[in-house]
């Protein structure tokens, strides 16, 4: 897996595909944009191994039994047996307020 650039934002789908995404206003993602991108109404921020990036996930994804996201889990700064499910947005910290 290749690393993301610090300025790049992607939608990393649970099926392994990745799509470049940009905030509609050109400055930062709104909650509504993220809700739509990852199909949720509750967002949780997860730290990534790259300190300049943040991962936005469905807070209730595990309860909803969303599929395991292998690539997102490998990029997330999670401990022990924790893991990431569902589609996620990974973006520079400055693009999510």
| Vertex 3: Cα angle to 38 and 97 (nearest 5) | 45
The Cα 37–Cα 78 span in angstroms is: 22
Evaluate if residue 1 carries a pLDDT over 50.
Answer: no
pLDDT digits (tens, 9 = 90+) for 68-92: 999 999 999 988 889 999 999 999 9
Distance of CA 9 to the CA centre of its chain: 9
d(CA 13, CA 28) in angstroms, rounded, equals: 20
Mean pLDDT to the nearest integer, 56-67: 97
CB within 8 Å of 63: residues ≥ 6 apart: none
Query: How long, in residues, is the chain?
Result: 97
Residue tagged 């099926």 (tokens): 15
Using the predicted structure, report yes or no on whether residue 9 has a pLDDT greater than 80.
Answer: yes
Per-residue confidence (pLDDT) for residue 71, from 0 to 100: 96
Q: Output the average pLDDT for the chain.
A: 91
Considering the entire predicted model, what is its pTM?
A: 0.90
- The confidence band for 4, taking pLDDT boundaries of 50, 70 and 90, is low
């Amino acid at each position: 897996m290749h690393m993301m650039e610090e300025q790049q934002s992607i939608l990393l789908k649970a099926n392994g595909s990745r799509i470049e995404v940009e905030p509609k206003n050109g400055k930062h993602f709104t909650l509504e944009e993220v809700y739509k991108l990852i199909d949720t109404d509750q967002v949780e921020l997860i730290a990534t191994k790259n300190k300049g990036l943040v991962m936005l996930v469905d807070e209730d994804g595990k309860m909803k039994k969303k599929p395991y996201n292998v690539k997102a889990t490998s990029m997330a700064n999670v401990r022990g047996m924790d893991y990431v499910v569902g589609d996620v947005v990974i973006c520079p910290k400055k693009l999510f307020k």
